[in-house]
């Protein structure tokens, strides 16, 4: 996570500054001094405030402006906020099992 201008590790509620560069199992590299992230395919981006890299190596953006900056779009206001997520409906209470394939659905 990029927080207060530095790369930190968050485990549960504990936040610890990182002291060395990180390479995740999928090959994603994170520079702890600059917040620069290099993905296995060679794409490079920089973390912005509240952005983080999940354990699988995917980036989660902390704001619409940081997501826009990652794709080279500077038209989004720096103070823009994501819309609040509202879940519609309810989660299933039981698992239905495997869905039938076309071979056995006839």
Identify which of 27, 16, 15 has the alpha carbon closest to the alpha carbon of residue 57: 27
- Give the position of tokens 């495997």: 98
Residue 99 lies in a domain: no
What burial class does residue 29 get, using C-beta atoms within 10 Å of its C-beta: 0-12 exposed, 13-18 middle, 19+ buried?
middle
Q: How many domains does the chain have?
A: 1
* pLDDT tens over the chain, length 106 residues: 998 888 998 888 898 988 899 899 999 999 998 999 999 999 998 999 899 888 888 888 888 888 888 888 888 887 787 777 666 666 555 555 555 554 444 4
Residue 86 lies in a domain: no
Residue 9 lies in a domain: yes
Residue 33 lies in a domain: yes
Residue 102 lies in a domain: no
Domain limits at 29?
Answer: 2-70
Note the pTM of the prediction, 2 decimals. 0.66
């Amino acid at each position: 996570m990029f927080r207060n201008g530095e790369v930190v590790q968050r485990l549960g509620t504990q936040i610890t500054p990182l002291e060395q560069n990180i390479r995740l199992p999928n090959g994603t590299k994170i520079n702890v001094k600059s917040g620069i992230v290099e993905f296995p395919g060679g794409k490079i981006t920089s973390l912005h405030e509240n952005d983080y890299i999940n354990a699988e190596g995917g980036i989660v953006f902390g704001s619409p402006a940081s997501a826009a900056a990652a794709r080279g779009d500077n038209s989004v206001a720096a103070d823009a906020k994501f819309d609040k997520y509202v879940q519609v409906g309810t989660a299933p209470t039981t698992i239905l099992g495997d869905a039938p394939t076309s071979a056995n659905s006839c």
